[in-house]
């Protein structure tokens, strides 16, 4: 489906306005004293419905990945929901109205639209929250900053390395408040673990495990994106065109292909959430034109914690080492290796080796010259005493909270779930382990104090008001996305290479034949700062 003449004309007008903003910073909307910030939600899928929208409207229901923000309706209001599926967009607006009505909050009816350019051209909008498929993140985020909006954007922040460079440049150029949805940075369990690491309580970090992805299981992979639809005609035959979806807009910069209800699934029988499908299968995340695979899903979380613990928020690895694990025989995984690649980070005391392993061992594990710190959702442990190398036996011991030779378990707890707020409230074991670690190491008085945020969404709105930096600004999110992309490049091309973390490009003549950006973007949807 091509854009209609009306949409083309509107788009041209909107594009002209946004382009006109490119030469200078657009000032924030002048608000009356006490006037609330207006929020637009772009992309009404499972993540927006279950995790983000409930927080913006102060709902006491929802997924609970973070503690709900009951006070946010005092400072902001959601005024529009946008999705290129008109049923979803309308459903999202109705969802907002219901939540406000539950709490007797009078905000006026929430609007809906199907073209994000309508949102960006609206001068009344102060904040945008982006939860689209991965391939749209950078374009919408940069255009929103051009238009004078502050931006919350889901991880992975970018689709490719070129977009990572540009989104960092855009935040610096336009001076907007930016938050990447790497929500684990606002969880006490992760901040506590990283505080132990950054303050040197396990000595110099020598190795890091970042564990995610279920090698060999369909729903857990593939680690890297693959091409699911090599035969467009076959893909088209398997799908019935959905009149509710602007398919051309859904594809955006991605190569054209016939409509696929696997890439853009919709559950219109879901009376509670019309049009919104369940978490899996999430084919768009694993397709090479629209997502970053499992590396961009869970990898964006655990690699981000590794990046934080290594104090690499403004840098990155200098070398990528190809995996030696066997290639997958599962065609769903593209016949490629699914784990085992390594990245080397340069520190003053020597190299740090980060290993991407299969899910099963804890999310992120730091191995130092004086012990080990392991952390995941609902899990934390600290061993102290000696250098420990990450062997299979050691990883098994860590997974079982067992004994490590030469080390003493100072405090730890293994939860039975992913540690969402609803379960954490009932989980005295996890909270007790966190309190013990804070007490043992007197973390409240430690020399290096890390940014503290109780909630990623609340932190974003607070910073939009105060104009102070968020816990996960554009550079943090972009460099986290680059780590995901480096993993993908190594697996897809089955190679290692040298990397310049400052310039975000290949070094020493390596990486030949590997693209850092799209060959072309359809319909002019290229990110331009």
pLDDT tens-digit profile of 264-288? 888 888 777 888 887 666 789 989 9
**Taking a C-beta distance cutoff of 8 angstroms, is the pair 296, 134 a contact?**
yes
Tens digits of pLDDT across the chain (529 residues): 333 333 333 333 344 444 444 445 777 677 777 789 999 999 999 899 988 999 999 986 655 445 667 889 999 999 999 999 999 999 999 999 999 998 888 888 999 999 999 999 999 999 999 999 999 999 999 999 999 999 999 999 999 999 999 999 999 999 999 999 999 999 999 999 999 999 999 999 999 999 986 655 545 668 999 876 555 555 555 667 889 999 999 999 999 988 888 888 888 887 778 888 876 667 899 899 999 999 999 999 999 999 999 999 999 999 999 999 999 887 778 888 999 999 999 999 999 999 999 877 889 999 999 999 999 988 999 999 999 999 999 999 998 999 999 999 999 998 765 555 444 455 678 889 999 999 999 999 999 999 999 899 999 999 999 999 999 999 999 999 999 999 999 999 999 999 999 999 999 999 999 999 999 999 999 999 9
- What are the residues whose beta carbons fall under 8 Å from the beta carbon of 83, sequence distance 6 or more? 42, 43, 44, 45, 89, 92, 112, 114
Of 150, 145, 199, the C-alpha closest to 174 is 145
Dihedral sign, CA of 172, 173, 176, 182?
Answer: negative
Alpha carbons 193 and 84: distance in angstroms, whole number:
40
Q: In the numeric block, which tokens belong to residue 324? A: 């030696």
CA distance to 190, 197, 355, 356, 477, per residue, from 194 (Å): 6, 5, 18, 18, 17
- Is the separation of the CB atoms in 205 and 365 below 8 Å? no
pLDDT digits 0-9 by tens, 137-168: 999 999 999 999 999 999 999 999 999 999 99
Question: 3-class SS at 361?
Answer: strand
pLDDT of 281 reads: 66
Domains (ranges, CATH) in the chain? 186-221+292-452 (3.30.360)
Of residues 52, 151, 152, the one with CA closest to residue 92: 52
Nearest one of 256, 367, 312, 265 to 46, comparing CA atoms: 265
Do 134 and 292 form a contact (C-beta atoms < 8 A)?
A: yes
Contact 210, 303 (CB under 8 A): yes
Which phi and psi (to 5°) does residue 154 adopt?
A: -65, 155
Give 85's DSSP letter.
B
Q: Output the CA–CA distances (angstroms, integers) from residue 445 to 196, 199, 410, in the order listed.
A: 12, 11, 19
For the record, the structure tokens of 342 come out as: 């390594």
Residues 6+ apart with CB under 8 A from 95: 49, 53, 81, 273
pLDDT score, position 509: 97
pLDDT of residue 68: 63
| Predicted pLDDT of residue 1 | 32
Contact at 8 Å (CB) between 192 and 434?
A: yes
What's 245's DSSP letter?
B
CA–CA distance, 155 with 300 (Å, rounded to integer)? 7
């Amino acid at each position: 489906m091509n854009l209609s003449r009306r949409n083309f004309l509107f788009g041209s007008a909107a594009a002209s306005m946004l382009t006109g903003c490119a030469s200078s910073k657009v000032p924030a909307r002048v608000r009356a004293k006490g006037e609330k910030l207006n929020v637009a939600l772009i992309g009404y899928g499972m993540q927006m419905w279950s995790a983000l929208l409930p927080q913006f409207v102060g709902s006491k229901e929802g997924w609970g990945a973070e503690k709900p923000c009951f006070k946010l309706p005092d400072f902001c209001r959601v005024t529009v929901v946008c999705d290129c599926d008109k049923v979803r967009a309308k459903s999202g607006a109705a969802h907002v109205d219901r939540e406000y009505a539950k709490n007797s909050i009078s905000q006026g009816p929430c609007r809906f639209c199907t073209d994000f350019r309508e949102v960006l051209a609206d001068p009344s909008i102060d904040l945008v929250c982006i939860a689209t498929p991965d391939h749209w993140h950078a374009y919408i985020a940069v255009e929103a900053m051009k238009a004078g909006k502050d931006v919350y954007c889901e991880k992975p922040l970018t689709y490719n390395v070129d977009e990572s460079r540009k989104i960092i440049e855009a935040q610096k150029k336009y001076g907007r408040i930016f938050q990447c949805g790497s929500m684990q940075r606002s969880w006490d369990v992760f901040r506590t673990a990283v505080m132990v690491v950054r303050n040197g309580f396990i000595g110099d970090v020598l190795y890091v495990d970042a564990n995610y992805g279920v090698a060999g299981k369909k729903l857990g992979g593939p680690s890297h994106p693959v091409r699911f639809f090599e035969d467009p005609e076959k893909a088209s035959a398997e799908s019935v065109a959905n009149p509710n979806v602007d398919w051309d807009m859904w594809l955006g910069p991605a190569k054209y292909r016939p409509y696929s209800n696997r890439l853009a699934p919709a559950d219109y029988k879901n009376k509670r959430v019309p049009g919104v499908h369940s978490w899996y299968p999430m084919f768009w995340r694993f397709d090479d034109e629209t997502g970053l695979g499992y590396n961009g899903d869970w990898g964006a979380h655990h690699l981000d914690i590794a990046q934080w613990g290594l104090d690499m928020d403004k840098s990155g690895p200098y070398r990528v080492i190809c995996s030696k694990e066997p290639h997958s025989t599962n065609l769903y995984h593209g016949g490629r290796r699914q784990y085992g690649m390594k990245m080397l980070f340069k520190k003053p005391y020597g190299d740090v080796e980060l290993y991407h392993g299969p899910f099963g061992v804890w999310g992120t594990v730091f191995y130092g010259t004086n012990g080990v710190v392991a952390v995941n959702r609902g899990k934390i442990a600290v061993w102290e005493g000696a250098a420990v190398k990450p062997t299979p036996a050691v990883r098994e011991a860590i997974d079982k909270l067992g004994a490590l030779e030469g080390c003493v378990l100072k405090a730890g707890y293994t939860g039975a779930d992913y540690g969402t707020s609803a379960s954490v409230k009932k989980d005295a074991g996890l909270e007790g382990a966190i309190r013990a670690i804070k007490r043992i190491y007197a973390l409240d008085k430690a020399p290096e104090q890390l940014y503290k945020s109780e909630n990623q969404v609340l932190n974003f709105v607070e910073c939009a008001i105060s104009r102070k930096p968020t816990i996960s600004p554009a550079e943090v999110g972009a460099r986290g996305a680059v780590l995901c992309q480096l993993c993908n490049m190594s697996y897809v091309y089955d190679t290692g290479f040298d990397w310049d973390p400052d310039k975000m490009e290949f070094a020493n003549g390596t990486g030949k034949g590997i693209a850092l950006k799209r060959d072309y973007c359809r319909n002019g949807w290229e990110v331009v700062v």
